[in-house]
């Protein structure tokens, strides 16, 4: 590898989940673009488009595709667009999570069947389905990334049903890594510390969680979307070609504390 070149020069891939300038997906897309890669962006709702359009110039003006992950036709269309555009992809970044508010704010004990199904479908199964669609396009191997959170491992106040959902996502990462490893496809989850995104704003008392995490981490600083993007770049790059199945913590060290 020529280290004088941008780390991701020549790589092409999809980032899904961008909603606005505060999205983790945007931080990833920005740093991946800055590292030399070409992008295709997927977004979930038409309401988000006015917030996304002003960001495109700084990302190399990538194609922007509507992709509701509960809609199989839209999912397949996103990957078909990538196939028609490039013939292959080298990476996928999945930064999507959702739970109905009534179930998110309530106890895990009280979660409805429908709320649990929706949260699992959008936050976990969509990554599995994208892995299935990405596999034939990763002809020379590649990297699949998704986003998790420490609440999958420990009980974090007010994270509620998303804890079990993210635990399922992390387990899926390990099984996908095993399934796809023989084809040179690596699978990881990034686990950022609390970041003020649109999705996070739905968590009750999130501001308190945000402030507490910054005060009690070893590095004593809040994580930014660009920090997550930098780690995504490293995981996608050929420098990480021997790594798969990892949960990479981007949390200023919070996860090591007792």
User: What confidence score (pLDDT) does residue 42 get?
Assistant: 98
* 79-108 residue pLDDT tens: 999 999 999 999 999 999 999 999 999 999
Share of the chain above pLDDT 90, in %: 83
User: What confidence score (pLDDT) does residue 206 get?
Assistant: 60
* 41-58 residue pLDDT tens: 999 999 999 999 999 999
Mean pLDDT, all residues of the chain: 93
3-state secondary structure of 206: helix
- Verify whether residue 125 is a known catalytic residue: no
List the beta strands (DSSP E) in the chain: 12-16, 38-43, 63-66, 91-94, 142-147, 185-192, 247-250
Residue 1 predicted with pLDDT over 50:
no
* 11-22 residue pLDDT tens: 999 999 999 999
DSSP code for 81: H
* 227-236 residue pLDDT tens: 999 999 999 9
Residue 3 predicted with pLDDT over 60:
no
List 43, 149, 150, 254, catalytic entry:
149
Give the whole-angstrom CA distance, residue 194 versus residue 29.
19
Supply the pTM of this predicted model. 0.92
Report residue 75's pLDDT band, with 50, 70 and 90 as the boundaries.
very high
- Verify whether residue 149 is a known catalytic residue: yes
């Amino acid at each position: 590898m020529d280290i004088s070149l941008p780390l991701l020069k020549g790589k092409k891939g999809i980032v899904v989940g961008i909603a606005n300038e505060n999205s983790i997906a945007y931080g990833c897309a920005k740093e991946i673009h800055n590292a030399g890669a070409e992008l295709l962006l997927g977004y979930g709702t038409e309401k988000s488009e006015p917030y996304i359009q002003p960001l495109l110039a700084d990302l190399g003006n990538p194609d922007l595709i509507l992709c509701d992950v509960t809609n199989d036709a839209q999912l397949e269309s996103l990957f078909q667009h990538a196939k028609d555009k490039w013939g292959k992809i080298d990476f996928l970044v999945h930064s999507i999570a959702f739970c109905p508010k009534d179930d998110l704010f309530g106890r895990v004990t009280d979660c409805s069947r429908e709320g649990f199904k929706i949260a699992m479908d959008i936050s976990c199964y969509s990554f599995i389905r994208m892995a299935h669609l990405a596999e034939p396009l990763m002809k020379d191997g590649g990297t699949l990334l998704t986003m998790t959170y420490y609440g999958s491992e420990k009980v974090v106040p007010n994270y509620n049903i998303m804890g079990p959902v993210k635990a399922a996502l992390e387990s899926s990462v390990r099984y996908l890594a095993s399934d796809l490893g023989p084809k040179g496809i690596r699978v990881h989850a990034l686990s950022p510390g609390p970041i003020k995104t649109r999705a996070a704003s739905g968590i009750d008392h999130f501001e308190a969680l945000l402030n507490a995490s910054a005060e009690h981490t070893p590095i004593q600083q809040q994580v930014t979307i660009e920090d997550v993007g930098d780690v995504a770049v490293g995981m996608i790059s050929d420098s990480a070609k021997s790594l798969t199945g990892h949960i990479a913590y981007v949390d200023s060290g919070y996860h090591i504390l007792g």
